[in-house]
Amino acid sequence: MNKSNTDLSGVMVKLEDGQRRLVATRSFSPDADELILHETPVIWAPQRYYPGYRAWLIVRQIVDDPAKLRWITEKHFAITPQPWDAEDRSFAQEVQSVRGIDPQTTQALYFSVATNHMAFWDEKGRNIGSGLFETLCFTNHSCAPNADVTPIACRRGTALRTIKAIAPGEEITWNYLSPTDISVLAFTDRQRLIQEIFRFQCRCVRCQRHA
Ligand SMILES: [Zn+2]
């Protein structure tokens, strides 16, 4: 199993109100664009496949490798129910016949992967795949984020950078929507879009002001 390569300083994953969050343990400067952390994915699938199939490619690697199964079990990633159709059911049945893993377990694995997989880039800044990361996957969405994920020149993986000053103890968040959506859309449209794409109700500080 490939070990993820993490440059990590000044952050920790904290369990709070049943949710894991990435929290700053030091202050990050008011200058935007400070590197918070850079990671390579632990398990990933190529970008050329549609998102649902990418998630399945990752699930296949997990059910084929006890070390990867142990890794994801110990991560306690958030699980958000996702669409689940006849094709998904037949994939889950195939996993049961080949690996003896019951379809419910496979479905939970699929939901976990679909909820948490994130894009990463090659050394030239091309988006080449989506994967699961040791720490980055715990960075939650906010409509008023203090960080963003970007490629990093000459390095494969995903970087988390500040877009504003961050104080110790503050949660680090990024915007899962597009920059345009987040600046243009009003509260109800943002909520609807987040629900539609990511299937959760946003309770960020900005949304709470309107709720
Ligand atoms: Zn929000």
- Interval 105-134: pLDDT, tens: 999 999 999 999 999 999 999 999 999 999
- In CATH, the number for domain 6-40+133-210 is 2.170.270.10
Output the CA 75–ligand 1 centroid distance in Å.
25
Global pTM?
Answer: 0.91
The one-letter amino acid code at 12 reads: M
The answer to whether 41 and 76 have CB atoms below 8 angstroms apart is: no
CA distance 184 to 113: 30
CA distance 110 to 65: 15
Helix (H) or strand (E) holding 15: strand 11-16
Output the CA 175–ligand 1 centroid distance in Å.
9
Output the CA 205–ligand 1 centroid distance in Å.
7
pLDDT, tens digit, 9 for 90 and up, residues 160-206? 999 999 999 999 999 999 999 999 999 999 999 999 999 999 999 99
Give which of 185, 194, 124, 114 is closest to 152, Cα–Cα. 124
Output the CA 208–ligand 1 centroid distance in Å.
7
Q: Where in the chain is the domain with CATH 2.170.270.10?
A: 6-40+133-210
CA distance 204 to 211: 10
Output the CA 183–ligand 1 centroid distance in Å.
11
The one-letter amino acid code at 189 reads: D
Output the CA 172–ligand 1 centroid distance in Å.
14
